[in-house]
Amino acid sequence: MKEFIQKLPKAELHLHIEGSLEPEMMFALAQRNQVSLPYQSVEEVRQAYQFHNLQSFLDIYYAGAAVLQTEQDFYDLTWAYLEKSAAQHVRHTEIFFDPQTHTDRGIAFETVVNGITQALEDAKSQLNLTSYLILCFLRHLSAEAAMQTLEQALPHRDKIIAVGLDSSEVGHPPNKFKAVFDRAGAEGFLTVAHAGEEGPPEYIWEALDLLKVSRVDHGVRAIEDEQLMARLAEEQIPLTVCPLSNVRLCVFQEMKDHNLKKLLDRGLCVTINSDDPSYFGGYMEENFIETQAGLDLSHTDLLQLCRNAFNASFLSEPEIQKHLREIDTLESELETS
């Protein structure tokens, strides 16, 4: 099973690039940029990663991002994620970045976007790994701040395919950002949003109806609302589920309690993703391995999850078909073995 998972061609659709900052790189960048950290060692950093909810993680995650200062830092961060992902048979990735985490510290929007984009371009030529970039607004900040961030992004439209919404969910419903998302849509961006991670099903309805999202990030609390489940199934609206993240942030107590298999069995377009791999104990492969083990997923389930991810991606139809054929080939090898 492990070997099968390793070989599966994967697409990742829910990955915060700042959440791929490994403690080793955090220390190296802190030294390079003369930033002081509240930790004495890499081990101490890892020990601090004990979370009881989303906010307890976000506090540490935003503090860690302070070591990122130069275009080279953003390049190195992104390149490290891409190299690891390519080694795990990730063929395509759609990466979130949080510009406000950096611009609010005085880092230029260009520094962030150019460093990330250069690494994405190099991955296409050197690692055969394609990607898109998604700008996320921090929902604990104001709608006005989000609108200013959108305006900063306009000259970089060619590098950014969509906008999203992340950070502290409860108390910051999607409706707060309707005007920003309307403007983003009019400017030609696709839209996605975190909804139903800790927040109620109503937030998922709002993401769909007010923010016009193409996908829902997390969305696991949809299971509490039958009408919503029917709509997600009927319209095949993808959910970018992050199993290790959900367990680490106590959305589910243990992997065996996760509802991913239930969502899949109800015909929803569920995908597996890593969210913030450095903080939650694994990249795509580890997420697949632990979810398979916890929920006793079959080969058929795993193939479906991979097909769902390419179908849910923003790739063109011919590109999607090319990846699906690779999955078909793997499936026929499985049947003949």
Helix (H) or strand (E) holding 87: helix 71-87
Kindly compute the dihedral angle of the four CA atoms of residues 215, 216, 220, 224, in this order, to the nearest 10 degrees.
Answer: -100
Residues contacting 315, CB < 8 A, separation 6+: 11, 92, 130, 323
List 10, 16, 215, 323, residue binding ligand ADE (CB under 6 A): 16
Assess 18 for contact with Zn ion (CB under 5 A): no
* 312 touches, from Zn ion, ligand ADE, none (C-beta below 5 to 8 Å by class): none
CA 264 – CA 267 distance, rounded (Å): 5
Task: Identify the sign of the CA torsion 86, 89, 93, 97.
Answer: negative
Assess 94 for contact with ligand ADE (CB under 6 A): no
The two structure tokens encoding residue 289: 């391995």
Assess 71 for contact with ligand ADE (CB under 6 A): no
Among 239, 254, 248, residue whose Cα is nearest residue 305: 239
**Using CB under 6 A, which residues numbered 242 to 281 contact ligand ADE?**
245, 275-276
Residues contacting 46, CB < 8 A, separation 6+: 23
Q: Please give the residue whose beta carbon sits closest to ligand ADE in the complex.
A: 166
User: 34 and 67 in contact (C-beta within 8 Å)?
Assistant: no
List 76, 166, 206, 285, residue binding ligand ADE (CB under 6 A): 166
CA 18 – CA 190 distance, rounded (Å): 21
Provide, rounded to whole angstroms, the least separation between the CB of residue 53 and ligand ADE: 11
Q: Please give the residue whose beta carbon sits closest to Zn ion in the complex.
A: 275
Mask 181-220, x = binds ligand ADE (CB under 6 A)? Answer: -------------x--x-----------------------
The two structure tokens encoding residue 11: 């697409």
Provide, rounded to whole angstroms, the least separation between the CB of residue 33 and Zn ion: 26
Assess 102 for contact with ligand ADE (CB under 6 A): no
List 206, 275, 290, 301, residue binding Zn ion (CB under 5 A): 275
CA 105 – CA 69 distance, rounded (Å): 9
* 274 touches, from Zn ion, ligand ADE, none (C-beta below 5 to 8 Å by class): none
* 19 touches, from ligand ADE, Zn ion, none (C-beta below 5 to 8 Å by class): ligand ADE
How many residues sit in the footprint of ligand ADE (CB under 6 A)? 10
Q: What is the DSSP string of 129-179?
A: -EEEEEEEEETTS-HHHHHHHHHHHGGGGGG--EEEEES--TT--GGGGHH
* 100 touches, from Zn ion, ligand ADE, none (C-beta below 5 to 8 Å by class): none
Provide, rounded to whole angstroms, the least separation between the CB of residue 323 and Zn ion: 23
* 73 touches, from ligand ADE, Zn ion, none (C-beta below 5 to 8 Å by class): none
Task: Using DSSP bridges, classify how beta strands 162-166 and 10-16 pair: parallel, antiparallel or unpaired.
Answer: unpaired
Among 262, 305, 230, residue whose Cα is nearest residue 14: 305
Assess 54 for contact with ligand ADE (CB under 6 A): yes
* 167 touches, from Zn ion, ligand ADE, none (C-beta below 5 to 8 Å by class): ligand ADE
Provide, rounded to whole angstroms, the least separation between the CB of residue 96 and ligand ADE: 7
Catalytic residue among 18, 71, 197, 285: 197
224 has catalytic annotation:
no
* Interface contacts to ligand ADE, rule CB under 6 A: 16, 19, 54, 166-167, 194, 197, 245, 275-276
Q: Which residues are catalytically annotated?
A: 197
* Interface contacts to Zn ion, rule CB under 5 A: 275
